[in-house]
Structures are given as C-alpha cells and as structure tokens.
Amino acid sequence: MVRYAEPCTAEWVESGGGPLIAVPETVLPFWTGADGEETASDYDRACEVDGLVGLLPVGDAAALVLGDEPAATAFLPEHGTFVRWVAGHAEAELLASVPAALQAARWQAEVHWNVPGTVVLFDAAWPGAHSTGTGHVRLTLTPGRYAVRAAQAQPGPETWLILVQLRPLP
C-alpha cells in the first residue's frame, strides 16, 4: 500500500503495470495470478478485460477487475467507491474532488457482482495466497448483490480519476 500524504487519509494500492483485482477472501487460494500453469494465466485473463471494469470467475465466486489504467487505487467506503488516481498533484485535492466527480460522472453500463463478504484488492499478477504479502487492502463488504458502475472524470484542469462505484441491490 502506498501513502501519498501525511497524515494519510486513504490507503492506496498500486500495480506493477497491469490491472488490480478485488477477489473475495473465500476464493483467494484459487487466484493464481501470473503463476498459472495453463496456457493463459489468471493474470492474462484479467489483462483481457476490456474497459474500466469486468468480472472473472474465481472458484465459486467472481472477482472484480479494475482495468484500463494501472492507477493507484483507494476505496472510499463513505461513497462506496474505488477512486483510481490517474493524474493530480496532491491526495487531499484529489479526494476533495470526489463528491463533485460522482455527481458529474457519465457512468458506463453497470455489471452485477455477487459478493460473499470481505474482498481483497491487490495487483492481479500476484497469486491470491500471497496477496496479503504485497500492497493490498481488505474491504469488508456486506454479502449480497452489487451494481458496479464506472466512469472517467476530470474534476479539475490537472486532476483526472476513474470512479468505480459499488451499490447494493435489493
């Protein structure tokens, strides 16, 4: 996890250049990352996700792939949103722009994600069994079905971010 400001207001996760992935804790051992013995590893499958978000089967659940940019990412529970830092000078400025960005966002089509509970966000190249030994964030989510929508936003002249919002479905 990377911290950009003192005092730190968010826990940021970065990748080595590929996508980040949120894997339910219950199926972490089934995510092989780049170490798969198949012709296409789990990491390769994650890299094939086209767009800002996608779902991949892992064990008896699905993982959420945060695609497009290998941007530093934090989860803001008060907004139910992953914030992906594409460009910006300071963490405080970027985080302060989130409410306005959420209001002005032009959301892409949403996907529906069944979440069994806690998920771990980490670099998709790592095997799930080793994910907590790298930069990661554990997110305690209420089990259930979520609508996931994503948007690119430019809330300031030099501030760009990607928003990935999780909304519980009835």
What pLDDT is stored for residue 5 in this prediction? Answer: 42
Range of the domain at 27: 20-168
What pLDDT is stored for residue 36 in this prediction? Answer: 62
> Would residue 109 be called left, alpha or beta, if left means φ above 0 and alpha means ψ between -120 and 50 degrees?
beta
State how many domains the chain has.
1
Q: Please indicate, yes or no, if residue 2 is contained in any of the structural domains.
A: no
Closest CA to 122 of 8, 46, 37: 46
Q: Please indicate, yes or no, if residue 12 is contained in any of the structural domains.
A: no
Q: What is each CA distance from 154 to 121, 151, 164, 168, in whole angstroms?
A: 24, 10, 14, 26
**Coil/strand/helix, residue 146:** strand
Cis preceding-peptide flag for 19 (omega within 30 of 0): no
As averages over each run of 10 residues, the pLDDT of the chain (170 residues) reads 52 89 96 79 92 96 92 94 91 91 94 96 90 85 97 90 96
115 within 8 A of 71, measured Cβ to Cβ: no
What is the rounded distance in angstroms from the CA atom of residue 160 to the CA atom of residue 158? 7
pTM (predicted TM-score): 0.90
What pLDDT is stored for residue 3 in this prediction? Answer: 40
Residues in the chain: 170
Closest CA to 127 of 56, 30, 45: 30
Burial of 112 (0-12, 13-18, 19+ CB in 10 A): exposed
What pLDDT is stored for residue 134 in this prediction? Answer: 76
Q: Please indicate, yes or no, if residue 6 is contained in any of the structural domains.
A: no
